[in-house]
Amino acid sequence: MTLRRKEGLIFGVIVWNHGLTAVGVLPAVPAAYRQGWIGGGWAVRLEVGAIFVVPPLIHAFSWRLWIGTCYGLLPLAAAVTRPAARRLIRCGARPFG
């Protein structure tokens, strides 16, 4: 089975990339600020720097996660839709038109 790059395929990578940045990296800076490890000015600089630096650094990892998500969910989607389509065909319905 091959996964071709079609329209919309890139959106999953963007979701993984920005999700990991927003949930995994950015909360560390306010936590360090609250602990008193860094000052307010450095917290702002680190947040802005992380927004621009982290996504390109984890881009390849995000692609791997997205491909894994696709391959992990495709068999589930096939298992769910095929029996439903078979039931429709048995009942005489036309599922695609």
pLDDT for 3-23, tens place per residue?
555 555 677 788 889 899 999
Query: Considering the domain boundaries, does residue 21 fall inside one?
Result: yes
Q: What does pTM read for this prediction? A: 0.61
Query: Considering the domain boundaries, does residue 29 fall inside one?
Result: yes
pLDDT for 14-63, tens place per residue?
888 989 999 988 999 999 999 999 999 999 999 999 999 999 999 889 88
Query: Considering the domain boundaries, does residue 95 fall inside one?
Result: no
Query: Considering the domain boundaries, does residue 28 fall inside one?
Result: yes
How many other CB atoms are found less than 10 A from the CB of residue 84?
10
- Please give the Cα distance from 96 to 77 (Å, whole number): 17
Query: Considering the domain boundaries, does residue 79 fall inside one?
Result: yes
Query: Considering the domain boundaries, does residue 6 fall inside one?
Result: no
Range of the domain at 66: 14-90
